[in-house]
Chains A and B, each alone.
Chain A
C-alpha cells in the first residue's frame, strides 16, 4: 500500500451512510428504517438474532441484493457522498470499490495464483501481478501455506485457508471497503482465530464491515457494533421484520448498552 493514501485518510470520517433504509422482498419488509453511519478505517460489526436483516443490510451496501429479483430498497445508501441506488450508478463499479467475502469459502475452480489475479485483471490492474499476488496472500495471512503451490487448485486448500484465499482475492482488488458475511461460520476455531488476526491487520488499510452471530467475535474484532433485532410481524418476510436497535462503540454496546433489548441479547437472555 502506498503511504500517501494513509496520510490523506482522515480519521472518524463517515464512508458509508445508511439513511432511512428499508429493504423488502416482494411486498414483505425484511428490515426497515435503518439509519447508520459507518466510519472509515474501522471495523464495524453487525450483530443480532437470525432473521434480523443484518445480512440483508450488508448485501445492500455493495448491491449484491440486485441478484435477488424480488428485492427492493427504499431510502438512501451513501458511499463517499454518492447515492449507490441512483439509477445512473453501475453496480459492477460499486463492487469494485466495496468487495465482499462470503459465508462459505468460494474459491474459483482455478489455481491459487489465478484466484487472486482474476479479480485484479478484470479491474484493469497494470502493476506487477506476481507482487500483487504475494502481497495479497501475505495480508490475508495465508502466504506461507500457499507460496509453494501457487499453481495448485484453490480447492486443494483446507476450509480456513480457502476462506483466507477468498479474503486475499478481495484484498487484491484494493477496495475501499470489505464486507464480510459471517466469514467464520463454516470454519473451525483455529481458522477463525487466524482470520480475526488477519482482520486486525487489514483495518490499517481498509474499512471492514462484518456480519457475525458470534458476539465474542464482534467484541474481539470490531471498533463499532450495530445491534439489530427482529420483531414478529404479520406478513413480513419469514414472519419477522428487522430494525436497528443500537449503534455505538463496541465497548459501549457490550458494557453499557442503552437499550434493554441490547442488554438482554448480549447477556444471552434471548437469541
Chain B
C-alpha cells in the first residue's frame, strides 16, 4: 500500500495489538454464546448421571409405582407424575379461557385505550410477584377462603373420583388454582401479542361485509392468531409443570396416591424442593430420576411450543 509523507494517522496500518483485541473479542463472544449449550448439556448430563443408579434399579417401573419410602428404600414416582400432569393440565383448562378472554378484551376496542393498557400492565406485574409470595398467600388466604366451596363440592359430588375426599387443607385443588394465577400472565401476554399481530386489513375486511365484533373474532381473528396462542399455551404448560415454590407450599407433599383433587398430593418439582436438601443415598438418585423425567417433559413441551411459535412468524 502507498505510504504518505507526514501522515498524521498512526494507525492507518493497524498495530498487532488492535487486531488481537478484535479477534479476541470475537472469540470471547463465541465462548460466551456457547455457555448456553454447555449449561444445557451440563444439566442433562448431571441429572442423567445422577439418576443412572435409580434407572438401573427400577427401570420403567419407577413411572407406575407410587411407593416413596426412604425407610425401606423403595421408590416410585407415580404420585408425583400424576400430580404434575393433573395440576398442570387442570390449571391450563382454567387459565386458557381466562387468559385468551382477557387478551381479547384488551386488544379489542371495547373500553378506552388507557384502561386496557392498565389491565395489560397489571397482568404483567402479576408475573413479577415471586412464586414464594403467592405460596404464602395461598396458604394463609386463598386456601382457607375456598375450603368451604371445596367441602360443599365434596358433599354434593363425592361419587366423582376427583372429588371423593374431604378437603382438610393443602391439596391438589388449591395448587391448581395458584398455578392458574401463575400461568395466566404468560397466556395473556402471548395471546395479546398474537392478536395484535393479526393484520388490521383482515379485521376491516370482516367488518366491511357486516360481520359483528364477535363473529369477526371467532371467524377471522382467532384463527389467524391460533398458532401463536397455542405456542403461548404450551409455554404456559411447560411453566406449570416446572413451577415449584407456590405448589410445594400448598399441595401437601403427600406421597400417598389419591385420585382426588381434594386430597394432598405431590408434583415432581415440589418433591425435589421438599426432599432434595435432606436426601442421601439412593433417594438422591431416585430424585434425580424424577428430575430427569420432569426435564424431559418440559423440554419436549417447550420445543414443541417453539415450533408452533415459529410457524406463526412464517405466516405473514
Contacts and interface: CB of A to CB of B under 8 A. Distances in A.
Nearest to A7: B5
Nearest to B9: A123
Contact of A2 (B6, B11, B13): B6
A108 interface: no
A176 B6 CA distance: 14
Contacts of A90: 14, 19
A80 interface: yes
Contacts of A126: 8-10
Interface stretch (A92-100, A189-197, A241-249, A256-264): A92-100
Given A5-B4, A82-B1, A176-B2, A93 B14 contact: yes
B30 to A, nearest CB: 16
Contacts of B13: 93
A212 B6 CA distance: 34
A175 to B, nearest CB: 10
B201 interface: no
A268 interface: no
Contact of A80 (B2, B6, B14): B2
A127 interface: yes
B12 A96 contact: yes
Given A2-B6, A4-B6, A122 B11 contact: yes
Contacts of B9: 96, 120, 123-126, 173-174
Contacts of B14: 90, 92-93
A40 B11 CA distance: 23
Contacts of A2: 5-6
Contacts of A96: 9, 11-12
A136 to B, nearest CB: 13
- Looking at chain B's contact residues, the main secondary structure is loop
A79 interface: yes
B109 to A, nearest CB: 35
Contacts of B12: 93, 96-97, 123-124
A79 B10 CA distance: 20
Chain B interface extent, by class: 10 to 19
Given A90-B19, A92-B14, A97 B8 contact: no
Interface in B30-84: none
Interface string B1-27: 110111011111110000100100000
Contacts of B1: 79-80, 82, 93, 97
Interface string A157-199: 0000000000000000110100000000000000000000000
Contacts of B10: 124-126
A90 B6 CA distance: 23
Contacts of B22: 92
Contacts of A174: 8-9
A102 B5 CA distance: 29
A84 to B, nearest CB: 10
Q: Of residues A79, A125, A176, which shows the largest number of chain B Cβ atoms within 10 Å of its Cβ?
A: A125
Q: Of residues B8, B9, B13, which shows the largest number of chain A Cβ atoms within 10 Å of its Cβ?
A: B9
Contacts of A122: 11
A10 to B, nearest CB: 12
A97 B2 CA distance: 10
B11 to A, nearest CB: 3
A201 B6 CA distance: 22
A174 B5 CA distance: 13
A82 B2 CA distance: 9
Interface of B: 1-2, 4-6, 8-14, 19, 22
Given A5-B5, A93-B12, 17 more contacts: A2-B5, A2-B6, A8-B5, A79-B1, A80-B1, A92-B14, A93-B1, A93-B13, A93-B14, A96-B9, A96-B11, A96-B12, A123-B12, A124-B10, A125-B8, A125-B10, A173-B9
28 contacts: A2-B5, A5-B4, A79-B1, A80-B1, A90-B14, A92-B22, A93-B1, A93-B13, A93-B14, A96-B9, A96-B11, A96-B12, A97-B1, A97-B12, A120-B9, A122-B11, A123-B11, A123-B12, A124-B10, A124-B12, A125-B8, A125-B10, A126-B8, A126-B9, A127-B8, A173-B9, A174-B8, A174-B9
Closest 9 CB pairs of A and B: A124-B11, A124-B10, A127-B8, A123-B9, A80-B2, A4-B5, A2-B6, A96-B12, A124-B9
